[in-house]
Chain A
Amino acid sequence: MKGMVRLLLPPLVGLLVLAGWEWAVGAFAIPAFVLPPPSAVLAALWRDGPLLLTSSWLTLSITLQAFLLALVTGVALALLFSQSRLAAAALYPYVVALQVTPIVAIAPLVVIWVGYERVNLALLILAWIVAFFPILSNTTLGLSAVDPNLRDLFRLYGASRWQTLWRLQLPSALPYLLGGMKISGGLALIGAVVAEFVAGSGTASGLAWRIIESGNRLNMPRLFAALLLLSALGIAIFAGLSFVQNRLLRRWHESELGRQ
């Protein structure tokens, strides 16, 4: 009974808020260009469906490409850092510099360098810059956070560097990597959207551009519909990565115990 209430409570609250919103817009005669009623947003979602879905797909594909690129480069660089202190010492400051410089400030430069005719590539690069740091830093941390006794055990049996990496460090780092991936997935989406905002002026046609465009035309229902899709994308990415995390860790890692 209590479980049912817990399960039903969030959608119930949502419905109540939507109903109140719909009622308030009518009762206080709020113009649609300030706050459209939920019904108008739903209608916009239906009417502009094909357009918005095409845009969603573009944003999603840039996000996913940036995420995969971040995963590959982040893990590769973390492996390099774990094998060579010299490489870590030499490169890490620049990685941090790239990370702490706000992406909005880098974006115009990247867009100009890559060129407006290849703006999708610019978006990909910008989303990648934002997404790759959590993977790098978490994996680096994970590769060094090895049980010291297990490390001694590997030394005792004369394990090679490769054996230690493959059988000890990588599995130890997996929970950290998965945590980094969860952050990075969300950041890739944010990066893709911010980059599109900066690129602007209709050269790209992802969800971010739909939002700017709708705002300029005071087409609030469509703006809300685009926002809705954007947050749906974010939730889907998070849920997907949570699922992967659970699959990989549920048999052995503390973070996933007692969840079944």
Chain B
Amino acid sequence: MSPLLNVAGLSLAYGKGTLALDGVDLTLNRGEFLSLLGPSGCGKSTLLRLIAGLLTPSGGQLQWQSPIARGDIGFVFQEPTLMPWARVIDNVRLPLEIAGVPRVAATDRAMAELEKVGLQDFSKSYPRELSGGMKMRVSLARALVTRPALLLLDEPFAALDEITRLKLNDDLLSLWRRDGFTAIFVTHSVFESVYLSTRIAVMRPRPGRIVAELPVELPSQRDYATRTGAAYNDHCRTVSTLLHQAMEAAP
């Protein structure tokens, strides 16, 4: 696998020198699904924002293997983060309109993305008319509308109920298999990280850094049967142990 991004010694200090991240090293390979797992306050969201370019590091480097243009990175926030005054289609079209894509072409692309998340019949709805899960799908469609090489997801399903979350996990995986983007998924759920990822990086807090990495050796086609299998359970146990050790190591 060829690397997409090399993170070397990345740190971020807040105002009075408090370190949110300290010396993070990470290699991100093309096409992989990487989960960043850690307790709250370990800087996983901060790391995601640094990679997105929304924050500037205090030290270290982000080395991209090929130059990054706008639209190459998609971002899914913890909340759906839709514009409440705009219809679903206008929300999904936004990244293309900002980039100056002509309206007709942008609409076609946005409709195609909505179809992939099963919401083509809701293109004219306003966000408040949708359920929490549907809003998150719109948010996914918007993040994918520019066909990004890298999709960053910041605990996107944390606020949803269990059943909706499982469904969205499956949808996310099939989008990932189909579109072939690279994904970084921030979560604090051991089970979610094992189910979704090809690799898991465990982080510890204060200051945030990556303390363990673990490849997930499960078949790429995952479904209900995966969750009941022995391999899945083994992984969950291992990751739980790693997370526990990370917490113990923290000051």
Contacts and interface: CB of A to CB of B under 8 A. Distances in A.
Q: Binding site of A, secondary structure by majority: helix, strand, loop or mixed? A: helix
B3 to A, nearest CB: 22
A122 to B, nearest CB: 40
B128 A257 contact: yes
Q: Binding site of B, secondary structure by majority: helix, strand, loop or mixed? A: loop
A253 interface: yes
A252 B70 contact: no
Given A156-B54, A252-B128, A168 B83 contact: yes
B79 interface: yes
Interface string B48-73: 01001110000000000000001101
Nearest to A251: B126
Interface string A217-260: 00000000000000000000000000000000001110001000
Contacts, number: 54
A153 B71 CA distance: 11
Interface in B93-124: 94-95, 97-99
Contacts of A156: 52-54, 70, 73, 75
A154 B98 CA distance: 8
B94 A167 contact: yes
A155 interface: yes
Interface residues of A, number: 20
Nearest to B70: A158
Nearest to B80: A149
A94 interface: no
A149 B139 CA distance: 12
Given A163-B98, A252-B84, A253-B84, A153 B126 contact: no
Nearest to A171: B85
A154 B54 CA distance: 10
A159 B52 CA distance: 15
Given A171-B83, A257-B128, A149 B71 contact: no
Contacts of B84: 252-253
B18 to A, nearest CB: 20
A157 B83 contact: no
A155 B85 contact: no
A116 B145 CA distance: 64
15 contacts: A147-B81, A149-B77, A149-B78, A149-B79, A152-B75, A153-B94, A156-B52, A157-B146, A158-B99, A167-B97, A171-B85, A252-B84, A252-B85, A252-B128, A253-B84
Given A149-B77, A251-B85, A257-B128, 8 more contacts: A156-B53, A157-B95, A158-B98, A167-B98, A251-B126, A252-B85, A252-B128, A253-B84
Q: Please provide the 5 A-B residue pairs with the shortest distance between their CB atoms, ordered closest to farther.
A: A158-B70, A149-B81, A171-B85, A157-B98, A252-B84
Interface of B: 49, 52-54, 70-71, 73, 75, 77-79, 81, 83-86, 94-95, 97-99, 126-128, 146
